[in-house]
Structure 1
Amino acid sequence: MRVHITDLKAGDRLAEDIYTSVGLTVFSKGATLYEKELSRLYQHQVDYVEIEWRPDRAAEETPKLLSSSNPALRPFYYDAVEGAEKLFQRALEEGKIYDEDVKGTFQPLVDNFRTERDVVSLLLLLNTQDDYTYQHSVQVGLLSYYAARWMGWAEEETVRAGKAGFLHDIGKCRIPKAILDKPDVLTDEEFAEIKNHTKYGYDILQNSFNDPALSWAALQHHERMDGSGYPLGLKRDNIHPLAKLISVADVYSAMISTRVYRGKRDLLMVLKEMYDMSFDKLDPDITHTFIRRMLPNFIGKRVELSNGESGTIILINQTDYFRPLIQIGEKFVDMSIQRNYEISNVVM
């Protein structure tokens, strides 16, 4: 059956080979289509494909692959994720990485996401459980870029922030995958090794770039304002400014991500938790700016409520950021007044 790529559903299988305009194979007959495969089809400007006959699957039970958010951005995201994996492998093998590889991997993403204003839709669209370490690197790079721009940093510093965020976890290349991907609680010895990724990252970036700020960001992005972080237990002004910014992006990406040991958490409620952290753990100026600039992205998003109802966020309350005005059918609910309503999930 011949379908447009906007009508593809997760699990569809190709009934014929797919070629580029110059005759190169994109996918072979029998390939199963998911998000990554769709991004490749979109990237190569494939409009229609022949798929195998579908079994009886109710349309509502099989979500369409193409989201309402800008699908043209997905290929750049997945290319960056694949590029991050290659950077990690090279860092492991050679103990260093190369600036041209970083630029070739991350810069196209920044160039294409630079004008994207709906950051929440991007995070909802691009956040999956696969390749967590590499997706996290890409997300932190993007969020660091946005955060630096929202802070009013100069363009050069904004680009550096994105690069530092993208490379902040490069030291994890030296952590065994059995520890990184462990679904159970880590032992004390395993957690001690996980914490070493900051030192490994510092060494790799020191060996790769003539820019100490990148190395300090990798070393210090788990430091906390009250001195409870690692590896050095630094406090407040002793933490590099770039590391403080990367910490905010890192915490947000980590908390909203799907992990092998837990499901992903709601994007709005994570901002509330970060607000609480801004009083002792995270830099308050950066965190509050990040929250204020993220919140307008939630207007117009559909939310599921803890009582089973669903509605749309209409307005962010300036006196109670995390309890917005919601429209549910014909009625309006001001959550700052009607305290019995709780948001359980933000969806597209």
Structure 2
Amino acid sequence: MKSKKILITKATPGMILARDIIDFSGQMLVAKDTTLTDWIISKLQFYNIHSLVIIINENEEIVKTTPDKEEEIISQDSNLNRIRNTKEFIQFQKEFFNFVEQFHRGMDEVLTHKAPLNVPGLLSTTNKLISTSRNAIHLFDMLNCMRNYDDSTYAHCLNVSLLCNIFGQWIHLPPDELEVLTLSGLFHDIGKLEIPQSIIMKPAKLTDSEYRLMQKHPTLGYELLKDMNIDNRIKNAALMHHERLDGTGYPQKLKGPQIDELAKIVAIADVYDALTSKRIYRDPLCPFEVLHIFEEEGYTKYDPSYLIVFFNQIFQTYVLNTVRLNDGSEGKIIMINKDALGSPVVQIGDRFIDLSKNKSLFIQAII
């Protein structure tokens, strides 16, 4: 068996580890012969693993696991692919990219020429995009179809705005409150437009000085918005969306009651979108993997009353979706376990597998 050392930034799902990965304390993180997934790669990045050794063949080509022909046929007929082929999604995608371009041009004018921000125009265009969907669930499904798009700050802001709108519908906000929440999502990250793109798009880990600069974007966003004639909660969302209930956030290390309520909602939508969207250094994470990340420490950092509603609603939308498990098998979600949202019942052929009772299996991807 031949092997090759690569940077973690070059790791992709399907690669096979040639050596155990050990952390700084001597504990094994991942065993050799493990097939990499988005979840494993993100875990290694979390533990600051900079490189790993993967298996290659005699021609120096990386060995990767691939689905067989039957799996490919199933994937081609997945729920997401069916949605991608609808006229509604084609129109949604067109309007989405048109909005991103409009948002980009508008913010360039604000940053370069100090032009006023056309908030009513942006809200109108956002509502037009939302109107291409039948309801909140349909809008959420169409957003999921775009998760392989390596999004810019502008697209991320639009994603979070749409997620906030969906979230607001789920918690039955009145129309005027829903508008404020939608705009809070749209403008939450505009402080990043003041950060060099070389840092925003850097594929490797940020240096300490780069990370400190990145942490200034909430304050920079607030400074851009503070003198504008908009609801103060929109300004607070830009300033507070990285604050956490336990005081571990930034820039002010605020705690629960000090954080604006809408900023708490934006914070959840922001992290969810960041993890489930493609990035220059990784593919999008599966929502079920994201749930496990939130479950590990999320309830001390994010408002549980919002978090529970968010994930309860999200996972109900995945019933009847085709998924791939970590053993490579594919099937359909037929029931969500209320006490174990991330471990539903999956039908594979004639078998029904309750993932809450089979701890060796988990959902690796929604296809």
- Scaled by the length of structure 1, what TM-score is found? 0.77
SS of the counterpart of 1:117? helix
- Offset at residue 91 of structure 1 (A): 2.8
Which residue is 1:11 aligned to? none
Which residue is 1:77 aligned to? 96
The match for 2:205 among 185, 188, 208 is 185
Distance 2:133 2:320 in 1: 21
Letter of the 2:99 counterpart: A
Structure 1 residues 205 and 223: CA distance shift in structure 2, 3 A: same
Question: How do residues 225-264 of structure 1 correspond to structure 2 at under 5 angstroms?
Answer: 225-264=245-284
Letter of the 1:68 counterpart: R
Task: Kindly provide the CA deviation profile for residues 6-61 of structure 1, in whole angstroms up to 9, marking residues without a partner as x.
Answer: xxxxxxxxxxxxxxxxxxxxxxxxxxxxxxxxxxxxxxxxxxxxxxxxxxxx9x79
Which residue is 1:4 aligned to? none
Q: Is 2:334 aligned against 1:320?
A: no
Distance 2:140 2:234 in 1: 27
Which residue is 1:334 aligned to? 354
Letter of the 1:137 counterpart: C
- Offset at residue 170 of structure 1 (A): 1.2
Which residue is 1:13 aligned to? none
- Offset at residue 128 of structure 1 (A): 3.0
Task: Kindly provide the CA deviation profile for residues 214-269 of structure 1, in whole angstroms up to 9, marking residues without a partner as x.
Answer: 11110000000000111100000000111111001001001111111122111122
- Offset at residue 83 of structure 1 (A): 2.3
Distance 1:275 1:84 in 2: 34
Structure 1 residues 152 and 104: CA distance shift in structure 2, 3 A: closer
The match for 1:278 among 276, 298, 302 is 298
CA contact (8 A) 2:244 2:255 kept: yes
CA contact (8 A) 1:317 1:324 kept: yes
Task: Kindly provide the CA deviation profile for residues 145-182 of structure 1, in whole angstroms up to 9, marking residues without a partner as x.
Answer: 11122122211101210111011111111111111111
Question: How do residues 170-181 of structure 1 correspond to structure 2 at under 5 angstroms?
Answer: 170-181=190-201
Distance 1:166 1:121 in 2: 19
Question: How do residues 93-242 of structure 1 correspond to structure 2 at under 5 angstroms?
Answer: 93-95=112-114, 96-113=116-133, 115-242=135-262
Structure 1 residues 282 and 116: CA distance shift in structure 2, 3 A: closer
Aligned residues: 288
Letter of the 2:267 counterpart: S
How much identity, in percent, do the aligned residues show?
31
- Scaled by the length of structure 2, what TM-score is found? 0.73
Distance 2:134 2:109 in 1: 27
- Offset at residue 144 of structure 1 (A): 0.7
Q: Which moved more, 1:172-181 or 1:208-217?
A: 208-217
Distance 1:130 1:309 in 2: 27
Letter of the 2:164 counterpart: S
Higher relative contact order (CA 8 A, sep 6+): 2
- Offset at residue 289 of structure 1 (A): 0.7
Structure 1 residues 183 and 256: CA distance shift in structure 2, 3 A: same
Distance 1:105 1:123 in 2: 16
Structure 1 residues 87 and 281: CA distance shift in structure 2, 3 A: farther
SS of the counterpart of 1:345? strand
Letter of the 2:108 counterpart: Q
- Offset at residue 330 of structure 1 (A): 1.5
Which residue is 1:68 aligned to? 82
Which residue is 2:7 aligned to? none
Q: Which moved more, 1:168-177 or 1:146-155?
A: 146-155
SS of the counterpart of 1:313? strand
Distance 1:105 1:67 in 2: 26
Which residue is 1:51 aligned to? none
Which residue is 2:22 aligned to? none
Q: Which moved more, 1:189-198 or 1:288-297?
A: 189-198
- Offset at residue 204 of structure 1 (A): 1.4
Task: Kindly provide the CA deviation profile for residues 264-302 of structure 1, in whole angstroms up to 9, marking residues without a partner as x.
Answer: 111122123223443211111111110111111110111
Letter of the 2:82 counterpart: S
CA contact (8 A) 2:322 2:333 kept: yes
Letter of the 2:130 counterpart: V
Structure 1 residues 244 and 129: CA distance shift in structure 2, 3 A: same
Task: Kindly provide the CA deviation profile for residues 58-90 of structure 1, in whole angstroms up to 9, marking residues without a partner as x.
Answer: 9x79x89x9411423222222222222223322
Letter of the 1:301 counterpart: N
Structure 1 residues 100 and 156: CA distance shift in structure 2, 3 A: closer
Question: How do residues 32-71 of structure 1 correspond to structure 2 at under 5 angstroms?
Answer: 67-69=81-83, 70-71=88-89
SS of the counterpart of 2:238? helix
- Offset at residue 119 of structure 1 (A): 5.0
Distance 2:177 2:141 in 1: 26
SS of the counterpart of 1:229? coil
Which residue is 1:300 aligned to? 320
Distance 2:188 2:170 in 1: 20
Q: CA RMSD in A?
A: 2.3
Unpaired stretches in structure 2, ≥5 consecutive residues: 1-68
